[in-house]
Amino acid sequence: MGPLAELLLLLCVLYGGSCEDSAIIVPGEEGGQAVLPCNTMAVNATSVTWFMVNPRVEVLSCDKEGSSNPKYSRLNGSSLLILDLRLQDEGFYGCKVCSEMADPPAHIQLKIASGPHNITFQISPTNILPNGTHYTSRGSQLNFSCSSYSSPEPTNTIAFHVGNQSELFDSQNTSMLNFSLTNVAPNYQGNYTCTVVNPLSKKTRDYTIPLLVYHPPAYAMGCSVNYTGVPSQFSLTCYWLGGYPAPQLQWENDGKILSNGTLDTLLVTLNSSEYTDKPKPTCKGQHTITNEIKVDTCNVHLGYPNLQSHALRTCIKGENVTLSCSVFGANPPAVITWLRNVSNPNVEVRSGAKYQIVQIGNDSFLTIVNCSKEEDEGNYICKSENGVATKEIYIWLDVTSK
Ligand SMILES: *[C@@H]1O[C@H](CO)[C@@H](O)[C@H](O)[C@H]1NC(C)=O
Ligand SMILES: *[C@@H]1O[C@H](CO)[C@@H](O)[C@H](O)[C@H]1NC(C)=O
Ligand SMILES: *[C@@H]1O[C@H](CO)[C@@H](O)[C@H](O)[C@H]1NC(C)=O
Ligand SMILES: *[C@@H]1O[C@H](CO)[C@@H](O)[C@H](O)[C@H]1NC(C)=O
Ligand SMILES: *[C@@H]1O[C@H](CO)[C@@H](O)[C@H](O)[C@H]1NC(C)=O
Ligand SMILES: *[C@@H]1O[C@H](CO)[C@@H](O)[C@H](O)[C@H]1NC(C)=O
Ligand SMILES: *[C@@H]1O[C@H](CO)[C@@H](O)[C@H](O)[C@H]1NC(C)=O
Ligand SMILES: *[C@@H]1O[C@H](CO)[C@@H](O)[C@H](O)[C@H]1NC(C)=O
Ligand SMILES: *[C@@H]1O[C@H](CO)[C@@H](O)[C@H](O)[C@H]1NC(C)=O
Ligand SMILES: *[C@@H]1O[C@H](CO)[C@@H](O)[C@H](O)[C@H]1NC(C)=O
Ligand SMILES: *[C@@H]1O[C@H](CO)[C@@H](O)[C@H](O)[C@H]1NC(C)=O
Ligand SMILES: *[C@@H]1O[C@H](CO)[C@@H](O)[C@H](O)[C@H]1NC(C)=O
């Protein structure tokens, strides 16, 4: 240690301030201002001077209230006020009582924070929808790049968020952070965010890109037909599930488009009177991811209900008789009802004490309890309906005495 350094150290200790290696850090923001307090115990007012070291530059001299440079001025007597801070203002500052000869060590380190500015975040390769949303397809590789201007070097973080959950991909102290995600899965649809934090000012900027992950339907396409319960009306349902976005579905019959849809299920209700010929409805599906197109079709075979029964039954007075009726060939499955031809219109037979109706599979059984000639003899009608057609069959019941 040379004599000068020894003196500096002595002065530094005497003045009770910190020496250069343990200088007080004063943070400032680019464009802002900083106040550096003087560590001298000596008198007030204009009796201190301010200087920078390496190289030594006097920024505020003893004699002046201010300085020739309006950037520097005196505050509260001995403090130094610096306006319009720039990165170049970073460095070590010291103050000295004017009557002293030698400079004490610089006791303040001024650090300037700048930014983060101009944050840019990119995900590539992606496609962009007309509304600006990015999308990619399952299995692709994505490169992320986040950059910004910041001093000191920022903490740069790339993360994925969906709903409540988030996953941190990478975080480093760098102005440009790159990250790669391979074999993207459908559950990586969500928000991708780059967050940049200036370690000095703690100023934070972020940039979020919502990303959709397209994928074809996961399951086979399916079709079904249902009787709506309204006579002569049936519904066709087509579904192709598990894709994103939903596929385009279309029901058609004999080259004629019945309905179009852009949901994963398409339902159309038809009136059988519109189809005198045997209809063969077909559903066509298409799922498109840019130029990757997946198509599928399915169709339903509609079937009229056909009925089978005995034309004639007899019942002994006072006993029970069971009439039966079978339906076959119906698609959608038919609903069977029993009617009595006693007036016009025919009257539907309802289960109760007198009549018992049981359906087992495609067979329906009507039991007439305690036959009487006056009340029960006559025509019974078995009626089946499935929306595609309605069929009826007549059964004559004879009631005899023993
Ligand atoms: C410092 O100066 C101010 C005004 O310039 C004065 O009010 C104050 O009493 C002085 N302090 C000392 C310790 O002299
Ligand atoms: C000036 O000094 C007074 C009293 O010490 C203090 O309250 C005030 O905050 C100081 N002003 C600045 C800008 O440092
Ligand atoms: C940041 O962006 C602004 C405009 O938004 C531009 O004027 C400036 O030059 C950019 N800064 C850098 C360092 O690229
Ligand atoms: C853009 O369109 C897609 C698909 O239609 C939709 O999921 C997304 O929410 C839309 N985004 C905005 C910002 O409107
Ligand atoms: C993504 O990054 C990898 C390696 O970092 C590179 O080989 C590949 O070409 C990049 N892909 C695109 C589309 O930029
Ligand atoms: C993405 O962020 C936006 C805006 O904060 C939010 O409305 C949306 O729900 C987020 N999306 C997901 C999938 O978390
Ligand atoms: C988010 O988390 C809270 C508490 O952990 C929970 O109550 C809420 O249901 C969650 N919301 C979603 C959309 O997961
Ligand atoms: C980034 O810098 C901060 C302080 O600025 C430090 O605490 C942290 O450990 C650094 N992180 C890495 C990954 O180097
Ligand atoms: C990060 O990615 C950007 C854009 O893809 C590229 O220009 C840059 O060279 C990459 N940097 C590094 C360090 O890989
Ligand atoms: C159509 O019938 C099937 C079984 O027959 C049933 O699973 C489906 O829910 C029905 N669909 C509608 C729309 O009623
Ligand atoms: C269904 O979509 C096709 C192709 O997108 C179009 O040509 C047709 O006009 C549409 N039909 C109906 C009934 O919407
Ligand atoms: C007729 O059916 C009723 C109700 O099930 C039953 O109580 C009765 O015993 C039956 N009569 C004969 C003769 O089987």
* Domain closes at, from 80, 106, 132: 106
Cβ contacts of 274 within 8 Å, gap of 6 or more: none
Q: Provide the domain count of the chain.
A: 4
Closest C-alpha residue for ligand 1 atom 1? 44
Q: What is the pTM of this model?
A: 0.76
Structural domain of 340:
306-400
232 with 206, same domain: the answer is no
* 268-319 residue pLDDT tens: 999 888 776 767 899 999 999 988 899 999 999 999 999 999 999 999 999 9
pLDDT above 90 (res 391): yes
97 with 149, same domain: the answer is no
What pLDDT, on a 0 to 100 scale, did the predictor assign at position 22? Answer: 77
pLDDT above 60 (res 8): no
| Among 192, 193, 151, residue whose Cα is nearest residue 175 | 151
What pLDDT, on a 0 to 100 scale, did the predictor assign at position 190? Answer: 96
375's tokens: 């009340």
Closest C-alpha residue for ligand 1 atom 10? 44
Cβ contacts of 140 within 8 Å, gap of 6 or more: 125, 183, 184
Closest ligand 9 atom, residue 178 Cα:
1
388 with 321, same domain: the answer is yes
C-alpha 283/C-alpha 210 separation (Å) is 33
* Domain closes at, from 299, 323, 357: 299
169 with 254, same domain: the answer is no
Ligand 11 centre distance from Cα of residue 273 (Å)? 23
- Which residues' Cβ are closer than 6 Å to ligand 3? 117-118, 149
The helix or strand, by DSSP H or E, that contains position 385, with its residue range, turns out to be strand 378-385
47 with 77, same domain: the answer is yes
* 63-117 residue pLDDT tens: 766 557 889 988 887 899 999 999 999 999 999 888 888 888 999 999 999 989 9
43 with 77, same domain: the answer is yes
83's tokens: 């306006």
Could you tell me the CA-to-CA distances from 385 to 235, 270, 344 in Å, in that order? 14, 15, 19
Closest C-alpha residue for ligand 11 atom 6? 260
* 144-188 residue pLDDT tens: 999 999 999 999 999 999 999 999 999 999 999 999 999 999 999
294 with 310, same domain: the answer is no
| Among 138, 321, 4, 173, residue whose Cα is nearest residue 12 | 4
* Domain closes at, from 86, 106, 126: 106
C-alpha 71/C-alpha 84 separation (Å) is 7
102 with 7, same domain: the answer is yes
Average per-residue pLDDT for the chain = 89
269 with 180, same domain: the answer is no
What pLDDT, on a 0 to 100 scale, did the predictor assign at position 273? Answer: 80
Testing ligand 4's pocket by substitution, the residue of 126, 127, 133, 162 carrying the most ligand atoms inside 8 A of its CB is 133
What pLDDT, on a 0 to 100 scale, did the predictor assign at position 76? Answer: 81
For the chain, give the percent of residues with pLDDT over 70: 91
51 with 32, same domain: the answer is yes
Ligand 7 centre distance from Cα of residue 161 (Å)? 13
pLDDT above 90 (res 1): no
- Which residues' Cβ are closer than 6 Å to ligand 12? 319-320, 369
pLDDT above 60 (res 36): yes
29 with 68, same domain: the answer is yes
C-alpha 159/C-alpha 172 separation (Å) is 12
Could you tell me the CATH number of the domain that includes residue 252? 2.60.40.10
18 with 52, same domain: the answer is yes
